[in-house]
């Protein structure tokens, strides 16, 4: 028969392991401006073929979010999707402010 715990006893709870991606060398999220078009996809709406823009964030654990509500587990996942849609350009805002030439990735 189990005894109810007394005020001095300790009940051990099972250990819960959270599996989050490991942090990379950067500890701060990076903001970027994404410009893309749908030149490789057929669309009924002619406006969808024009250049579009979204702001995004790359977090230290690799997660990528866009201001239109889309989320990606890695930046390579976003690159793959954009390669299928058409041409795109990614400009990191921290590098744009510093005026560095290597701040743009254009595909």
Q: How far apart are CA 73 and CA 66, in angstroms?
A: 12
Print pLDDT tens along the chain (107 aa): 555 555 554 545 455 555 555 544 558 999 999 999 888 887 666 665 578 899 999 999 999 999 999 999 999 999 999 999 899 999 999 887 776 554 456 66
Q: Which long-range contacts (CB under 8 A, 24 or more apart) does 16-20 make?
A: 20/61
Q: Provide the β-strand partners of residue 65.
A: 57, 71
């Amino acid at each position: 028969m189990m005894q109810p715990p007394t005020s001095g006893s300790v009940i051990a709870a099972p250990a819960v392991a959270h599996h989050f991606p490991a942090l990379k060398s950067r500890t701060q999220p990076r903001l970027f401006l994404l410009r893309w078009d749908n030149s490789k996809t057929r669309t009924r709406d002619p406006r969808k073929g024009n250049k579009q823009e979204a702001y995004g964030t790359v977090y230290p654990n690799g997660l990528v979010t866009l201001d239109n509500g889309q989320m990606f587990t890695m930046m390579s996942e976003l690159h793959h999707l954009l390669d299928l849609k058409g041409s795109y350009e990614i400009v990191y805002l921290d590098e744009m402010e510093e005026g560095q030439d290597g701040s743009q990735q254009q595909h």
